[in-house]
Amino acid sequence: MGRVRVHQHVNPLAPYFRFTPEALSLEKSFEKPQNPLFLDIGSARGRFLLQMAQDHRDMNFLGIEIREPLVDEANRLSREHGLTNLHYVFNNAMLSLDKVLENLPPGILQNVTIQFPDLLKMLRLLFNLFQVLQVMRPPKCVVIQR
């Protein structure tokens, strides 16, 4: 199957993206739910996590992405590679990142990356991220890369 074609940008404030997502279930998403969790916000086609998950089988990798077709494509690739430590969810991290993460046990989220975010969206994303970190025990590492 070829690459899925998607819009370059979406408006995260559009009504379609104002939904309340389900909280992530580690048990349903990963074979070893007790393993440390690595979160990539704005995972796009998911290639970064695809490589990371193959290189670090003792960790779980979660990608959050607002463009739903990319989430489906990334989950399909994960299955094709037989990876049980990699999962992607469709979510508007600007509005409801905290909902997705609300059931995580303390201490399990160890790394968060936000890579090459759009500048305008960055401030709001950061605000949301700080909210999440206040609710949870802090992860060991947060990387924001531009």
Cβ burial of 142 (10 Å; 0-12, 13-18, 19+) is: middle
Single residue of 24, 39, 49, 66 touching ligand SAM by CB under 6 A: 66
* Residue 92 binds ligand SAM, judged by CB under 6 A: yes
Smaller CB distance to ligand SAM: residue 11 or 34? 11
H or E element, residue 62: strand 60-65
* Residue 64 binds ligand SAM, judged by CB under 6 A: yes
Please calculate the CA angle 84-44-114 and round it to the nearest 5 degrees: 90
**Minimum CB separation from ligand SAM for residue 137, in Å?**
23
H or E element, residue 39: strand 37-41
Q: Is 72 in the active site?
A: no
**Minimum CB separation from ligand SAM for residue 92, in Å?**
5
Give the residue numbers marked as catalytic.
Answer: 118
